[in-house]
Amino acid sequence: MRGKKLIVGIVMVCFALTLFAGTAAAEKVLKVAIIGPFTGPSAKTGEEFKGSVTMAFEKVNFMVGDYKLEPVWVDSQSDPAKIASAYSEACERIGVQGGVLNWHSSTAVAAMDVAAQYKVPHMFGFGATEVVNEKWRSDPEKYSYWGGKGWPIPGKLMAGYAETIDNAMKSGKFKPKSKVVAIACEDTDWGHSAGDAVAAEFEKKGWKVASKDYYPITQMDFYPLLGKYKKEDVAVIFSTSTAAPVTSAFIKQTREVGLKSLIIIDGLGWSGDWYKMAGAASDGVLDMIPQLTTQAAKDWAVEFEKRFGMKPSPSAGGLSYDGAGFFVKILQRANEKYGKLDKETIHKVMVEEVNTGKLTYAKADGAIIMNEYRYNMDTMPDPVVARDGYFFPVIQYKGGKGSIVYPEDWAEAEFIDRKSVV
């Protein structure tokens, strides 16, 4: 009898140990929310997010210390209300302990409240407009869980377009009949912020803004608007959209209506398949977007296309790959410093080291787009804009290739007047 009791006791102990081991193993899983537009008008960006995050996490075999990284794909659908609901569910029901990425400023400001409510540290969201900063600065302690934007506000970047054109005019490469610019952007926080920033920079250079027009993010017919610009003989047209099909439709229709204006399409190159969609109409178009200039970046792009069947863009693909890599470095630092990974330790590293510029992410760490990603308290929540930091050169497209034309010391090709290629 005593032997039977002993056997039963041993079995129970073993069972208990098994349960404990299983529980311990479960606690070593770190669920990471990946916010992206996986469906909707910007679903192409979401596809690039998935591939880039997968490749970044594979570099560490989905492990940080003893913790298994488990991506939780949170679909924003490019809709603020839907991302608020989806992210809340991920925090409450799934139990994510950290997050990375986002697309659109409007979804960023919605997700910020969710991150603050559940105290989930979130890094590298792509919401560029000033509204993100305004919300962050309204309560820095509350919104410290939204640990910085993936790129600076348009006002810090958009000067490059006006400077490029001013430089081309001074060198005689661009001779417009008038100094008149038109603004046509998607009707979102991003569109208004970018449009206003560009208009202000052109006005500083003595240009007249003919009009500011804002269109729905799903609009595909621009013939009436472009016809108006043609009648007004607008010298330069600036446009931007976060939806690749919309951007491509706009640029194709400029050629179809016979516009000879110099065209700026900020974000045309966000889609890796931009030339398939826009074709030769893109020749002479200006854009401001990081390039795959290093061998490491080019090798990554080749591998990405081989695995996922599409060419990655420098922004949607390359920057999200870097962002996910930076997040892994943050996790590694949190585990090293505090001996565990959870919402609290990740948040501490974000506030104490990332936001102060002590912890950065550079080419030596595996970054493929920018030399270095870094923040400081003077620029939060934007990254530092500098030649050796976060910098977007101006490029011009021709024959399916984008080449840097400004600044001159970075130039890969000479500026061309679009009239010569249209």
Is 29 in a helix, a strand, or coil?
A: strand
Which residues are within 8 A (CB) of 106 and not within 5 positions of it... i.e. 6 or more apart?
80, 127, 131, 188, 189, 190
What DSSP state is assigned to residue 189?
Answer: H
Residue 5 in tokens: 């009791």
Examine the pLDDT at 28 and tell me if it is beyond 70: yes
The Cα-based distances of 66 to 58, 219, 331 in angstroms read 15, 48, 12
Is 283 in a helix, a strand, or coil?
A: coil
Examine the pLDDT at 287 and tell me if it is beyond 80: yes
| Residue found by looking up tokens 């803004």 in the block | 209
Work out the average pLDDT over 159-178.
95
Which residues are within 8 A (CB) of 12 and not within 5 positions of it... i.e. 6 or more apart?
none
Examine the pLDDT at 21 and tell me if it is beyond 70: no
Answer for the pair 235, 260: CB distance below 8 angstroms, yes or no: no
User: Measured in whole angstroms, how far is the alpha carbon of residue 319 from the centre of its chain?
Assistant: 6
Looking at residue 7, its pLDDT comes to 46
pLDDT bracket for residue 13 (50, 70, 90): very low
What DSSP state is assigned to residue 406?
Answer: E
User: Measured in whole angstroms, how far is the alpha carbon of residue 77 from the centre of its chain?
Assistant: 15
Looking at residue 12, its pLDDT comes to 46
Which residues are within 8 A (CB) of 337 and not within 5 positions of it... i.e. 6 or more apart?
345, 348, 349
Work out the average pLDDT over 316-324.
95
Looking at residue 377, its pLDDT comes to 81
Looking at residue 389, its pLDDT comes to 82
CA pair distance 181, 209, nearest whole angstrom: 5
CA pair distance 260, 88, nearest whole angstrom: 48
Examine the pLDDT at 331 and tell me if it is beyond 70: yes
Q: What is the pLDDT of residues 291-308, one digit of tens each?
A: 888 899 999 999 999 999
Average pLDDT of the residues of the chain: 91
How would you label 355-387 residue by residue, b for 16+ Cβ within 10 Å and e otherwise?
Answer: bebebbbbeeebbbbbbbbbbeeebbbbbbeee
What DSSP state is assigned to residue 314?
Answer: I
211: which strand partners? 182
Work out the average pLDDT over 78-91.
97
User: Which is more confident, 41 or 145?
Assistant: 145
| Domains recognised in the chain with CATH numbers | 25-154+294-373 (3.40.50.2300), 156-290+394-420 (3.40.50.2300)
Answer for the pair 242, 256: CB distance below 8 angstroms, yes or no: no
Examine the pLDDT at 359 and tell me if it is beyond 90: yes
Is 96 in a helix, a strand, or coil?
A: coil
Answer for the pair 105, 189: CB distance below 8 angstroms, yes or no: yes
pLDDT bracket for residue 384 (50, 70, 90): confident
CA pair distance 381, 3, nearest whole angstrom: 67
Looking at residue 27, its pLDDT comes to 59
CA pair distance 284, 4, nearest whole angstrom: 86
User: Please, which contacts does 327-330 make with residues 24 or more away whose CB atoms are closer than 8 Å?
Assistant: 327/32, 327/98, 327/100, 327/123, 327/124, 328/56, 328/57, 328/59, 328/60, 328/64, 328/69, 329/359, 329/361, 329/365, 330/123, 330/354, 330/359
Is 375 in a helix, a strand, or coil?
A: coil
For 262, phi then psi, to 5°, come to: -75, 130
Work out the average pLDDT over 56-77.
98
Examine the pLDDT at 64 and tell me if it is beyond 90: yes
CA pair distance 386, 391, nearest whole angstrom: 6
